[in-house]
Amino acid sequence: MEKRAFIKSVALGALSIPILGAGRTTQIKMELPEQAVRLAKKLQPGDTIGLIAPAGVLDDEESIAISREIFEALGFKVKEGDHIRDRYGNLAGTDQQRIADIHQMFADKTVKAIVCIRGGSGTSRLLDRLDYKMIAQNPKVLLGYSDITALILALYAKTGLVSFHGAVGISTWSTKLAAAFKRQFIDNEPVVFENPKSKGDQIVQTKDRVTTIHPGIAEGILLGGNMTVLTGLCGSPYLPDFKDKILFIEEVDEDMGRMDRMFCQLKNAGVLAAIKGFVFGKCTNCKPSGGYGSMTLDQLFNDYIKPLEIPAYTGAIIGHIADQFILPVGVRVKMDATQGTISLLEDALKD
């Protein structure tokens, strides 16, 4: 799935002001009002799932057909947004059209869950015109990732709604992913997210390895998503307070120079100083910068994450990959940086 265009201008302001302290940065908070956590109801077979496209344009009818057939095969009815076939430049319709589909699905009492067909770019354009009061009154499952990070974080910051970072309609829906969908949304199980342990024909595991940056265990609310989109929200009311949170991030199609600037932005905005734990997923198709050489991702972790001396690990099955975790954003978890696990400590949905 293609990534949304790189956000070229990130706000220099932040929700917190970093000051130097002993050993690491501390934080003077300029807090947003704390929102009560809102949970959607778990799904039942036969419920209606709404399909929307709040970001990039859909190139063909087949993408819509496949998305619809996936959820019908999983035992659900499907309702399509009125504007998912529209186009405005590289976007799936004008801002007003994409907002209308979001509002329609949250307001529709027959729709029990909302799945984004794809990511791309443009979701951040919508945040200042969403009806957060109406959305808060109609909590529903929202599933997506990549550019949908903007919507997931904004809904949590403004309404306290727990949404889900995971596959979109045009993702590769394997039987493994379908089973994970059922466990999370129908069974509402207390999931433990852990990488596969298979070695295959190798003597040691070479695929989906976990690397510990700093050992330890931490508990906190899980927040995160795509790194470019998240850093683009710095200085806005749509980025949640990260104090004592567990931050997870992923990336795709970026070079290390831009990754360096984004890590620096999170540091300067006080986000890294505030968190209790850090999980990095996959950096799919990321590449070195040109010129005189390049920083490596490991060097960036050493520069920005290791000095925090908080539990941290990389390699989680999160990002622009098949069979990625379906992570509830806004739920309390326990992360073990040595074992490479994220365990839910509370239900992500209401029975």
Active site residue 174: no
Q: Evaluate whether 348 touches 40 at the Cβ level (below 8 Å).
A: no
Active site residue 214: no
Question: What H or E segment, with its residue span, contains residue 19?
Answer: strand 16-20
CA 331/CA 216 separation, integer angstroms: 20
DSSP characters for 42-89? PP-TT-EEEEE--SBPP--HHHHHHHHHHHHHTT-EEEE-TTTT--BT
Among 146, 163, 171, 236, the one annotated catalytic: 146
CA 181/CA 183 separation, integer angstroms: 6
Active site residue 250: yes
Backbone angles phi, psi at 227, to 5 degrees: -65, -45
Which residues, listed in sequence order, are joined to residue 277 by a DSSP beta bridge?
246
Among 121, 124, 250, 251, the one annotated catalytic: 250
In this structure, the strands spanning 25-29 and 16-20 are antiparallel
CA dihedral 171, 174, 179, 184 (to 10 degrees): -10
Which residues are known to be catalytic?
146, 250, 320
